[in-house]
Amino acid sequence: MNAKLIDLTARRRTKKRGCPICGKPVQDKFRPFCSEHCRRVDLDRWHKEAYRVPSEEAADGEPVKGDDEG
pLDDT digit string, tens, across residues 24-66: 999 999 999 999 999 999 999 999 999 888 888 766 666 666 6
- Tell whether the torsion through CA atoms of 8, 11, 13 and 17 is positive or negative: negative
Question: Domain locations in the chain?
Answer: 17-49
CATH of domain 17-49: 3.30.50.10
Rounded Cα distance between 59 and 30, Å, is: 41
Mean pLDDT, range 18-25, rounded to an integer: 96
